[in-house]
A and B are shown apart, each in its own frame.
Chain A
Amino acid sequence: DAMVIQNPRYQVTQFGKPVTLSCSQTLNHNVMYWYQQKSSQAPKLLFHYYDKDFNNEADTPDNFQSRRPNTSFCFLDIRSPGLGDAAMYLCATSRLFGPTSYEQYFGPGTRLTVT
């Protein structure tokens, strides 16, 4: 089945130690998104890629970076995690055009713990 995969599902990192979260997709979608979801809150969009065109949300901290080396993969890098960055990180994809372009397909998420 075509899907969105996130690895790892659970990640523990130390305060200030860089960490990378991974997302891959077999849907061949043009657009990939990264969301941060803190406990009991709605997902908050960090940034998204339209193909290789990177779009940062205005309030996304500089501590968060992203890379998209090809259509299938997208990475979220947190350069110096703080305790406040502990959250669920969700990756999503969508088509760019067509009747289903408004739908986003989500991965299972990576739960990040910062110690």
Chain B
Amino acid sequence: AQSVTQLDSQVPVFEEAPVELRCNYSSSVSVYLFWYVQYPNQGLQLLLKYLSGSTLVKGINGFEAEFNKSQTSFHLRKPSVHISDTAEYFCAVSYLYGGATNKLIFGTGTLLAVQP
């Protein structure tokens, strides 16, 4: 069965500092990996995705993530955060359901709290 683990429920960081949000997954089949961001009282916005190819994936707002198959990880990084990056970040894995539609399994989320 597929699952996603985000060990850090909250990550406090100072503005302009680098940050890494950790995500590990377990799956017996090939998966597709995503990071979504959610601002307060908003829906989920796709930050980046890994489907295949290069293991280093660049997304919006200066974020990037690296897919590591041997460690079953997909950590999200940003070299310099801004106050506006304060939000909840969800890692998710997609798998094929019933041979047709795809389902997303979400991690429990990490609150990135950027302080001035």
Contact = CB atoms under 8 A, between A and B. Distances in A.
A102 B109 contact: no
Nearest to A90: B43
Contacts of A50: 100-101
A88 B41 CA distance: 8
A94 B101 contact: yes
Nearest to B34: A103
A102 B90 CA distance: 16
Name the prevailing secondary structure of the B interface residues: strand
Nearest to B95: A102
B51 A96 contact: no
A50 B103 CA distance: 12
A45 B103 CA distance: 9
B52 to A, nearest CB: 9
Given A50-B101, A99-B51, A101-B102, A42 B107 contact: yes
Given A42-B90, A42-B106, A42-B108, A31 B101 contact: yes
Contacts of A102: 32, 49, 51, 94, 102
Contacts of B57: none
Interface residues on A, range: 20 to 34
B108 A94 contact: no
Nearest to B44: A106
Nearest to B106: A42
> Which of A41, A42, A94 has most B Cβ within 10 Å?
A42
A3 to B, nearest CB: 10
B101 A43 contact: no
Given A42-B109, A106-B43, A108-B42, A96 B32 contact: no
A106 B36 CA distance: 10
Contacts of B17: none
Nearest 5 interchain pairs by C-beta:
A42-B106, A106-B43, A106-B44, A102-B32, A102-B94
Given A43-B90, A48-B103, A102-B49, 7 more contacts: A42-B108, A45-B104, A101-B102, A102-B32, A103-B46, A104-B102, A109-B43
Interface of B: 32, 34, 36, 41-46, 49, 51, 90, 94, 97-98, 100-104, 106-109
